């Protein structure tokens, strides 16, 4: 069933390409007339004739990106989206052919699709990365004559960074992404399939069970010490410390002053005295 579907898809793609290649190209005057009818009156027949005449442009552009491992049919579909965008934005008052204008939109649509789908890791998040993604292989071979399984030398990285006017760090990062394929974290470390998975090599960001128990025990101890130290303060001192420092939304000096019927400066003085007492009490616990 799968083979049949794939065959049907292939035949459909071939039919599409044959149809595209048989459509005559338009003259400048025809482009202008069709684009005017679409932009001014939303004449869909004019839009279809304009875009279908340049399907061959989309097909040619899609084949330039087929080496990125994505289906050519998908690249063609994305290129068609770019072609429609070009038709919707084409300005007939400018002295430029539609085919020239559309080329930019078609290429941009296909490049964006490649960047989104080439890897499960988002690629080309900056203009520098995007430029590197599509030029690094070519420049690497041109500068060093390196084969696919060879890495760049330090000089080669510097040459490419200078040529594209990007940071050396961007070159290094894109080189790692382009020449190291995605791997599942559940893949075994060796080919026998019985060893640990790659996931087992990743450092854990959470505390180990031993660390968690120790931290929990220490936290309970510190909390008990603090409560014991607070109990040795006067009632007003305890209230100020608890409301100022032991709550997420600590009370202001002014609020506590109104509550205790004293000035906020007096609250500050009591707070400072209480903090000094707490430090002395807790210091004795730690010695």
Same fold, 12-118 and 209-286: no
Taking only the tens place, the pLDDT of each residue in 4-35 is: 333 334 435 677 777 777 777 788 888 888 88
Q: How confident is the model at residue 2 (pLDDT cuts 50, 70, 90)?
A: very low
CB atoms within 10 A of CB 90: 22
pLDDT (average), residues 63-71: 80
What are the CB-based long-range contacts (under 8 Å, 24+) for 253-257?
none
DSSP H helical ranges for the chain: 2-22, 28-41, 44-52, 55-64, 72-89, 98-117, 127-144, 154-164, 168-178, 209-231, 235-245, 253-260, 264-286
User: In sequence order, what are the residues at sequence separation of 6 or more whose Cβ sits closer than 8 angstroms to the Cβ of residue 165?
Assistant: none
Domain 209-286 adopts which CATH fold? Arc Repressor Mutant, subunit A (1.10.10)
pLDDT tens-place string over residues 148-190:
455 667 777 777 777 777 777 776 666 666 655 555 556 666 6
Which CATH number among 1.10.10.10, 1.10.1510.10, 3.40.50.800, 1.20.120.1810 corresponds to the domain 12-118? 1.20.120.1810
**What is the end-to-end Cα distance of the chain in Å, rounded?**
78
- Domain edges within the chain: 12-118, 122-181, 209-286
């Amino acid at each position: 069933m799968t083979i049949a579907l794939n065959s049907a898809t292939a035949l459909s793609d071939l039919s599409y390409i044959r149809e595209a290649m048989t459509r005559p190209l338009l003259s400048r005057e025809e482009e202008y007339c069709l684009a005017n009818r679409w932009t001014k009156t939303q004449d869909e027949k004019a839009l279809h004739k304009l875009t279908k005449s340049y399907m061959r442009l989309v097909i040619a552009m899609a084949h330039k990106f087929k080496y990125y491992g994505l289906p050519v049919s998908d690249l063609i579909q994305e290129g068609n989206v770019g072609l429609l965008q070009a038709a919707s934005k084409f300005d007939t008052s400018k002295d430029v052919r539609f085919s020239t204008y559309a080329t930019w939109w078609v290429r941009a649509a296909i490049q964006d699709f490649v960047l989104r789908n080439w890897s499960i890791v988002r690629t080309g998040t900056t203009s520098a990365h995007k430029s590197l993604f599509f030029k690094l292989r070519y420049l690497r071979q041109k500068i060093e004559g390196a084969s696919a399984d060879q890495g760049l030398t330090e000089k080669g990285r510097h040459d490419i960074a200078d040529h594209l006017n990007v940071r050396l760090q961007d070159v290094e990062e894109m080189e790692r992404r382009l020449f190291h394929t995605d791997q599942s974290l559940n893949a075994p470390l060796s080919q026998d399939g019985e060893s640990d998975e790659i996931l087992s090599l990743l450092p854990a960001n959470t505390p180990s069970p031993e660390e968690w128990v120790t931290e929990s025990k220490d936290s309970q101890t510190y909390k008990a010490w603090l409560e014991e130290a607070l109990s040795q303060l006067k009632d007003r001192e305890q209230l100020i410390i608890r409301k100022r420092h032991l709550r997420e939304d600590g009370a202001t000096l002014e609020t506590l002053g109104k509550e205790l019927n004293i000035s906020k400066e007096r609250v500050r003085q009591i707070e400072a005295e209480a903090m000094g007492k707490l430090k002395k009490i807790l210091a004795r616990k730690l010695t």
